[in-house]
Structure 1
Amino acid sequence: MEWLISLAGVTLVMAALRDLFHTLWHPSRHGGLSRLVMTALWKLARHVRARGRVVGLVGPLAMVTVVGMWAVIIILGWAIIYWPHMPGAFTFAPGSRAAEQPALLDSVYLSLVTVATLGLGDVVPADGWLRLVSPLEALVGFVLLTATVSWVLEIYPALTRRRALAVRLALLRDTDPTTGQLDCVVGALLLDSLATEVVRVRIDFTQYAEAYYFHDGEDHSSLAATVGYAADLAQRGQAARRPDVLLAGDLLADALKDLAAILDQRFLHTGGTPQDVFAAYAADHGRGPTQS
């Protein structure tokens, strides 16, 4: 029975580590727990009266919540591993009152101290296998800390790339170049560079799905508010006479179709055309349909 309880603790720890791996390092970057938490918080924020202010906090709050849940599951999992063997398989420092506490409380305390790599030494594993398991928990705690830091450092460059594309599209929307103005070498270069940026953002949505739940702000230069105008520019490029502009317009149109496919497959599930997907994206981020 003792080993069955410990096995349940191992299952909890492995579930947390699996979710951490799929969220941060798996090629699909599609963690189950993190995705559920972020989706739930996003949907909840959409029904709050002060939606604009609350939605802006969803991304950071969701990341903090996910990391906290990983930590809690790992700490509880290791505590359950220790629990059936407490206090007989452990040595307590002289004068310590730890042994006078309930076994589960001692187990949680030991797990918390170990995962935080504090090493207070008032409760020490005595059995051989526990002396191996306890340092392993400290190693997992170090992995959790470094994974959290790397997650934060990875997500914000992706948000910067998305924001840069959105601001550039907003500026182009203000100048609103015509088909004739785009029908030149500069127009071809412009459309080609936009296609490259759209591809980068598409990859970011694939590799950093949590970026979707970060709000761009209340202005009209968010990607949700400007991506529809990129489709208008692609159509103008496709209506030009120069072959290089036609090619660049086709590239931008294809890049936008690919971006729409990712948004629809992972987040929106409309099953519609790229225009429908971008309209749903704008609505989901508190924007009306984008205007040309």
Structure 2
Amino acid sequence: MKWLVSLVGAGLVMLTLRDLFHTLWHPTRHGGLSRLVMTALWRFARRLRGRRRVVGLVGPLAMVTVVGMWTSTVVLGWAVVYWPHMPGAFAFSPGSEAAQAPALLDSLYLSLVTVATLGLGDIAPGDAWLRMVSPLEALVGFALLTATVSWVLEIFPALTRRRVLAVRLALLRDADPAPRQIDCTAGALLLDSLATDVARVRIDFTQYAEAYYFHDGEDHSSLAAMVGYAATLARRGQAARRPEVCLAGEVLAGALEDLATILDQRFLHTGGTAADVFAAYAADHGRSLAQP
């Protein structure tokens, strides 16, 4: 029975590590816990008054919540591993009153101390297998801290790329280049660079799906609001007479179609055209598509 309880605790730890791996390092980045938490918080925020202020906190709050749940589950899982063997399989420092506390409380305390790599030493594993298992929890705690830092460092550059593209589109919309200004070598280079930026954002939504739940602020820095103007520029490029401009317009249109496919498959599920998806994307972020 003791070993069965310990196996349940080990299972909790393994489930957490699996979710962490799929959220941060798996090529598809399909993390179960993180996506569920972020989707739930996003939908809840959309129903509240003062929506923009609340939605702006969803991304950071969801990341903190996910990391907290990972940490809590790891601590609880390892405590369940220790619990059936407490206090007999552990050594207590002289004068310590820990052995008089409930076994579950001691197990939680030991698990917290170990995962935080504090190593206070007032409770130490006595059995050989526990002396091997306990340092593994410290390694998991260190890996969890490292993963959290790397997650933050990965998300915010992806948000920057998305917002830079939105600001570029906003500036272009304000300049409102005429078709003849697009139909030149500079126009082809412009459309090609926009297609590259759109492709980067498409990859970001694949690799860092959590970035979808971050609010972009004002309309001019919101891709949800400005992406429609990119489609307008693509159409102008496709209608141009110069072959290089026409090709660049086709490439931009293809990049936008690919972006719409990813948004629809992963977040919106409209089953509609690219225009329908971008309209749903804008609405989901509390925006309306920018008009030329």
Q: Give the shorter-chain TM-score range.
A: over 0.9
Q: Deviations over 1:12-46 (max 9, x none)?
A: 00000000000000000110000000000000000
Aligned length: 292
Q: Provide the secondary structure at the position in 2 that maps to 1:15.
A: helix
Aligned counterparts of 2:21 and 2:204: Cα–Cα separation in 1: 18
Q: CA contact under 8 A between 2:89 and 2:126: conserved in structure 1? A: yes
Q: Deviations over 1:79-125 (max 9, x none)?
A: 00000000000000000010010000000000000000000000000
Q: Provide the secondary structure at the position in 2 that maps to 1:49.
A: coil
Q: Provide the secondary structure at the position in 2 that maps to 1:17.
A: helix
Aligned counterparts of 1:10 and 1:221: Cα–Cα separation in 2: 45
**1:223 is matched by which residue type in structure 2?**
L
The residue number in structure 2 matching 1:91 is: 91
Give the CA RMSD over aligned residues.
0.6
**2:279 is matched by which residue type in structure 1?**
A
Aligned counterparts of 2:220 and 2:248: Cα–Cα separation in 1: 26
TM-score, structure 2 normalization: 0.99
Aligned counterparts of 2:51 and 2:170: Cα–Cα separation in 1: 23
Cα offset, 1:180, TM superposition: 1.1
Q: CA contact under 8 A between 1:282 and 1:290: conserved in structure 2? A: no
Cα offset, 1:290, TM superposition: 3.0
The residue number in structure 1 matching 2:173 is: 173
**1:209 is matched by which residue type in structure 2?**
A
The residue number in structure 1 matching 2:36 is: 36
The residue number in structure 2 matching 1:144 is: 144
* Alignment partner of 1:72 is 2:72: yes
Q: Provide the secondary structure at the position in 2 that maps to 1:271.
A: coil
**1:229 is matched by which residue type in structure 2?**
Y
Q: CA contact under 8 A between 2:219 and 2:226: conserved in structure 1? A: no
Aligned counterparts of 1:219 and 1:204: Cα–Cα separation in 2: 20
Q: CA contact under 8 A between 2:226 and 2:289: conserved in structure 1? A: no
* Alignment partner of 1:246 is 2:227: no
Aligned counterparts of 1:175 and 1:226: Cα–Cα separation in 2: 14
**2:66 is matched by which residue type in structure 1?**
V
Q: CA contact under 8 A between 1:16 and 1:70: conserved in structure 2? A: yes
Aligned counterparts of 1:244 and 1:160: Cα–Cα separation in 2: 29
The residue number in structure 2 matching 1:55 is: 55
Aligned counterparts of 1:64 and 1:144: Cα–Cα separation in 2: 13
The residue number in structure 1 matching 2:157 is: 157
Aligned counterparts of 2:39 and 2:180: Cα–Cα separation in 1: 44
Q: Provide the secondary structure at the position in 2 that maps to 1:124.
A: strand
Q: Deviations over 1:243-292 (max 9, x none)?
A: 00000000000000000000000000000000000000000000023322
Cα offset, 1:181, TM superposition: 1.0
Q: Deviations over 1:222-263 (max 9, x none)?
A: 100100000000000000000000000000000000000000
* Alignment partner of 1:262 is 2:262: yes
The residue number in structure 2 matching 1:200 is: 200
Q: CA contact under 8 A between 2:75 and 2:108: conserved in structure 1? A: yes
Q: Provide the secondary structure at the position in 2 that maps to 1:289.
A: coil
Q: Deviations over 1:168-225 (max 9, x none)?
A: 0000010111211100000000000000000000000000000000000133431001
Cα offset, 1:4, TM superposition: 0.4
The residue number in structure 1 matching 2:112 is: 112
Q: CA contact under 8 A between 1:52 and 1:218: conserved in structure 2? A: no
TM-score, structure 1 normalization: 0.99
Q: CA contact under 8 A between 1:116 and 1:141: conserved in structure 2? A: yes
Q: Provide the secondary structure at the position in 2 that maps to 1:11.
A: helix
Q: CA contact under 8 A between 2:164 and 2:221: conserved in structure 1? A: no
Q: Which runs of 5+ in 1 are unaligned?
A: none
Aligned counterparts of 2:122 and 2:242: Cα–Cα separation in 1: 78
Q: CA contact under 8 A between 2:237 and 2:248: conserved in structure 1? A: yes
Matches within 5 A, 1:203-242: 203-242=203-242
**1:249 is matched by which residue type in structure 2?**
G
The residue number in structure 2 matching 1:14 is: 14
Q: CA contact under 8 A between 2:198 and 2:255: conserved in structure 1? A: yes
Q: CA contact under 8 A between 2:166 and 2:220: conserved in structure 1? A: no
**1:58 is matched by which residue type in structure 2?**
V
Q: Percent identity among equivalent residues?
A: 79
